[in-house]
Amino acid sequence: MHTVMDALAELMKEQSYDYIIGITGFETVFCALMPVQQKWLRNLCKERFNDLVEIGSFVSFGISYYDSIIDTINVKKGGETDLDSWNLYGDEYSRLNEMLDTIASKLASRFDGISIPATLHGLAGKIENVTDYYGRTISHRAVAERAGLGWRGKNGLLINHRFGCAVRFASVAVTLPLDASEEVEYACGDCTACEDACTFIKHRVVLPDYRENCRRYIANLRKKGLKKDVCGKCIQACIRNGIHATSFELRAE
Ligand code: SF4
Ligand code: SF4
C-alpha cells in the first residue's frame, strides 16, 4: 500500500517542476495559527476536527518557480515598468497554484483528507483591509515552517535551503499519525536584500501592518494593468541578492 508521502511524490513527479514535501502534526499547526484562522480550520474540518487534533498530520508541499521567471518581475523598459513582463510572473503564479490545488484535491480524496487551496484569488482590490484575508484560509507558510521546509525570512516568506522563497505551497490535513519533519533554524543573519527592495518590509516594525501596505501597493498595480495579486519584488531580492543567493538551485526552464 502506498504511503501518503509516496503518493504525493508520485503526483508531484508528474509535473516538470521541482518540489518539496514536509510533514507536521495537525495540532502543532493549529496552535500556531491566529485565532481567526483556527476558527476557519475548525469549521472546515467539522466533525473530523477532534480526531485530527488527536492523531492527525498536515502534509505541506511546494512547487518551485523556474529560475528565468524571477527576472520577469519589475522590469523597466524605456523608463517605464514593463507590465507585460511582470504578468508572465503572475501567469506562472496562477499555473503553480492550479497545479498545487489539483494535487491537493487528489491527495485528499485518496487519503480521506482535507485540502487547503494554494491561494485566494483576486481579492487584493476587493477587500477593505488585509486582515479580511486572515479568516478565509490558513497560512501555508505556518504549515510549511512547522513541516521543516524552511525558516520564516525577514520578508515574511518561507525560505527553503534549495529554492529560497521562490516556492508556492498547498497543504492537506489527514487523520493519520505521520512522522513529523524537523523544523529549520532561522538563517537570514545580517542580510537586508528584501528590506532594501521594499520599503514596507524595511519599516515593518513601525508600520501597523506592513502587509496592508503591500496589499494596497498590489491593488494599485492591478489598476495599472497587473493581472494577478502578486508583486514578487521581495522574492526576486532574496533569490538574486540575498545572502543565500549563490546556494539556491532553481531549475532552468
Ligand atoms: S510583495 Fe512587493 S510590496 Fe509586498 S512585501 Fe513583497 S516586495 Fe513589498
Ligand atoms: S533577502 Fe535576506 S533577509 Fe530577506 S528573506 Fe532573504 S535571506 Fe532573509
Supply the residue whose CA is at minimum distance from atom 3 of ligand 1. 214
* 100 CA distance to ligand 1 middle (Å): 22
The C-alpha cell at 192 is 537586508
Residue type (1 letter), 151: W
The C-alpha cell at 106 is 487528489
Cα separation, 188 vs 221, in Å, equals 29
| Percent of the chain clearing pLDDT 90 (strictly above) | 88
* 152 CA distance to ligand 2 middle (Å): 9
- Assess contact for 178 and 171: CB atoms under 8 A: no
Q: Where are the alpha helices (DSSP H) in the chain?
A: 4-13, 26-32, 35-45, 49-55, 83-110, 131-134, 140-146, 193-197, 199-202, 210-224, 233-241
User: What is the mean predicted confidence (pLDDT) over 53-78?
Assistant: 97
* 201 CA distance to ligand 2 middle (Å): 11
Asked whether residue 238 is assigned to any structural domain, the reply reads yes
Ligand closest in space to the Cα of 193 = 2
Q: For 111-167, how does the pLDDT look when each residue is reduced to its tens digit (9 = 90+)?
A: 999 998 777 666 555 667 767 667 678 889 999 999 999 999 999 999 999 999 999
What pLDDT does residue 253 have? 75
Structural domain containing residue 158: 4-247
Give bridge partners of residue 64 from the DSSP assignment: 167
Asked whether residue 253 is assigned to any structural domain, the reply reads no
Asked whether residue 32 is assigned to any structural domain, the reply reads yes
- Mutation choice for ligand 1 from 70, 130, 201, 216, CB with most ligand atoms inside 8 A: 201
Domain count, the chain: 1
Asked whether residue 184 is assigned to any structural domain, the reply reads yes
Q: For 70-124, how does the pLDDT look when each residue is reduced to its tens digit (9 = 90+)?
A: 999 999 999 999 999 999 999 999 999 999 999 999 999 999 999 987 776 665 5
Asked whether residue 77 is assigned to any structural domain, the reply reads yes
Asked whether residue 252 is assigned to any structural domain, the reply reads no
Asked whether residue 230 is assigned to any structural domain, the reply reads yes
- Residue 197 alpha carbon, nearest atom of ligand 1: 7
Residue type (1 letter), 118: A
Q: What b/e string do you get for 159-197 counting C-beta neighbours within 10 Å, with b at 16 or more?
A: bbebbbbbbbbbbbbbbbebebbebbeeebeebbbbbeb
For all residues of the chain together, what is the average pLDDT?
Answer: 93
Is the pLDDT assigned to residue 199 strictly greater than 80?
yes
User: What is the mean predicted confidence (pLDDT) over 181-203?
Assistant: 97
Is the pLDDT assigned to residue 249 strictly greater than 80?
yes
Under 8 Å CB-to-CB from 245, ≥6 apart: which residues? 164, 193, 238, 239
Tell me which residue has cell 508521502. Answer: 5
| Percent of the chain clearing pLDDT 70 (strictly above) | 94
* 70 CA distance to ligand 2 middle (Å): 15
